[in-house]
Amino acid sequence: MNTDIKHMLETIEREARLTASYTGRERFADAVMAAMAAVNRADFVPNVAHSQAFSNVPLAIGYGQTISQPYIVALMTDLLDLSQEDRVLELGTGSGYQAAILAKLAKQVYSLERIESLAESAASRLRQLGFNNVSCRHSNGYQGWPEESPFDAIIITAASPFVPSALLEQLKAGGRLVVPLADRGLYQQLTLFTKNQQGETASRPILAVSFVPLIDD
């Protein structure tokens, strides 16, 4: 394995141990770590950021947007507890990196992005890299993707003060939704919502994080 990727995986493992008292997860699933090892983050970041592609830092991807640090991508993915039969909705395609990780673990990924050129470049990048089970669409994610719902899991990769109600409706019974919930100030609480078989949702705060905002227009 490439030493940069090996180092990135070790950093994720260390961070997972250090944050276990908050997240309840001492280590992430082997399948999640294998997906992190298999997807080349350098393919998703601009050329100027290549030297930093495997550092545990967020990176700018243009249009004022960022790709999260690898540890946060791994944590959010792990919280979704995906299985190979799952259909997953992502809000905020950005570079397509998170979608690629999800694509390794689930059956089909549906990803929405409100900035047209990011939506287009992520879709063509994912196609070129052979991720055939990711569908991208340029649209405002607040409405979710009703035609393809319901979803086993939903991931929101931008900060929102609330979970758009359409998204909770589009989550299956037994489903998981992870979102950085904005409070006040710079930080958000990464929050895990679960829906039980009766259709009732419960939520649990996981960790303080910092994301770009989800925009409703």
> Which residues are known to be catalytic?
68
Which helix or strand (DSSP H or E) is residue 175 part of?
A: strand 171-182
How many angstroms separate the most distant Cα atoms in the chain? Answer: 49
- Residue closer to ligand SAH by CB (options 115, 192) is 115
Q: Which of 119, 126, 121, 124 is nearest to 101 (CA)?
A: 126
Q: Give Cα separations from 158 to 30, 64, 65, 91, 214 (angstroms).
A: 26, 12, 9, 8, 5
Q: Give Cα separations from 151 to 27, 108, 122, 143, 213 (angstroms).
A: 26, 10, 21, 14, 23
Q: How far is the CB of 169 from ligand SAH (least distance, A)?
A: 16
Residues that bind ligand SAH (CB under 6 A): 61, 65-67, 91-92, 94-95, 97-98, 112-115, 118, 140-142, 157-158, 212, 214-216
Q: Which of 89, 110, 108 is nearest to 176 (CA)?
A: 89
**What is the bridge-based pairing of β-strands 151-156 and 171-182?**
parallel
Q: How far is the CB of 124 from ligand SAH (least distance, A)?
A: 14
Q: How far is the CB of 196 from ligand SAH (least distance, A)?
A: 27
Sheet holding 171-182, edge to edge: 134-138, 108-113, 87-91, 151-156, 171-182, 188-195, 201-209
Q: How far is the CB of 21 from ligand SAH (least distance, A)?
A: 26
- Residue closer to ligand SAH by CB (options 200, 217) is 217
Q: How far is the CB of 65 from ligand SAH (least distance, A)?
A: 4
- Residue closer to ligand SAH by CB (options 136, 192) is 136
- Residue closer to ligand SAH by CB (options 15, 113) is 113
Beta bridge partners of 66: 60
- Residue closer to ligand SAH by CB (options 9, 24) is 9
**What is the bridge-based pairing of β-strands 171-182 and 188-195?**
antiparallel
